[in-house]
Structure 1
């Protein structure tokens, strides 16, 4: 099974802890900012950039890969 690269409202809920409605609004704002049409999807990289997160962490989360905490 391949890796999923696009973000859905349920992923935004999981990552941010926000409601479905708030998650849909975040995706709408990203599409508006990126100049995307309503039928186009948001990539995990676009979402990570908008939210200030590491793309690798977002990709692992949406593909249900365990995150390993980095030691400083």
Structure 2
């Protein structure tokens, strides 16, 4: 059984959106601000999915 990742990184967002890695970092920062997370806390794929409206299964296909 292959374990699935639960955290999303800027490089993943770059692959999904086709935008720059810097854009991915900015998006993660915005998600953290909206969810009132501290800088050291990570953003999950579920949170990214909810924020962007992109189906979680589709996101997981891109990052596997």
TM-score of the alignment, normalized to the shorter chain, above 0.5: yes
TM-score normalised per structure 2: 0.90
5+ residue gaps, structure 1:
64-72
User: What is residue 67 of structure 1 aligned with on the other side?
Assistant: none
More helix by share: 2
What is the Cα-based RMSD across aligned positions, in Å? 1.0
| TM-score relative to the length of structure 1 | 0.81
> What is the alpha-carbon distance in structure 2 between the residues aligned to residue 22 and residue 3 of structure 1?
24
Bigger proportion of residues as strand = 1
5+ residue gaps, structure 2, are none
What stretches of structure 1 move > 4 A for 4+ residues in a row?
none
User: Is 1:12 aligned to 2:9, yes or no?
Assistant: no
Specify the structure having the higher radius of gyration (Cα).
Answer: 1
